[in-house]
Amino acid sequence: MNMTHYMSLLAENQPWNLIIFMAIPVIMAETLTITEFFIIFNRTKSGGLRTLNKVVGIFDGFYFTGIFIYLLFNAVIPLTKTGGWHTWVDVVAVGFYLSGVLFLLPIALMELGIIFRKKTDNEKMKIHFILVGGFLVVAHIAMIFGMVDPSIINDMSNMKMDM
């Protein structure tokens, strides 16, 4: 079966690529989501749960930025230069996966007080929730398109399978 580069990345070097590129960022995002619900419901401004949320937000934001930079230079640019993409489905899967940086990095920067400094606590809480939700949406779109067999879109007989 033909695979998108998204799926082949996760399938190679088992279990390390799966842990590095999927498990860690998604588990951290799910931790953010769960703690976010409790924080919003209880209007929590301090305490252990808020601290966990903050630490996970900072870690995941910078961790995923590292993934973004690594994959940009080691996958996206080389695939684009060589025409190695496995149809538009492949581009959508990888593109949506990498767009997660647009949601996770601002969380880290907000938690560090670099951006949104003048926002109220309620405004920050709303922004934080929107960013977490945005990451979950793009991550799931990436997963869905990443699981599509690109050959159903186009004959891939002339395309390389190496990542």
pLDDT the model gives residue 160: 53
Domain that holds residue 67: 5-152
Tell me whether residue 159 is in a domain: no
The pLDDT value given to residue 8:
87
Q: What does DSSP assign to residue 163?
A: -
Tell me the residue type at 73.
Answer: F
Alpha carbons 120 and 141: distance in angstroms, whole number:
32
Q: Is residue 160 part of a domain?
A: no
Q: Say whether the peptide bond before residue 15 is cis (omega within 30 degrees of 0).
A: yes
CA 30 remoteness from chain centre: 11
**Structure confidence at residue 157 (pLDDT):** 53
Query: Quick check: is 163 in a domain?
Result: no
pLDDT at site 151: 84
Determine the pLDDT at residue 1. Answer: 60
Per-residue pLDDT tens digits of the chain, which is 163 residues long: 688 888 888 888 889 999 999 999 989 999 999 999 999 999 888 999 999 999 999 999 999 999 999 999 999 999 999 999 988 999 999 999 999 999 999 999 999 999 999 999 999 999 999 999 999 999 999 999 999 988 888 755 555 545 4
Asked if 6 and 145 touch (Cβ cutoff 8 Å), the reply is yes
Q: Report if residue 136 sits inside a domain.
A: yes
Domain count, the chain: 1
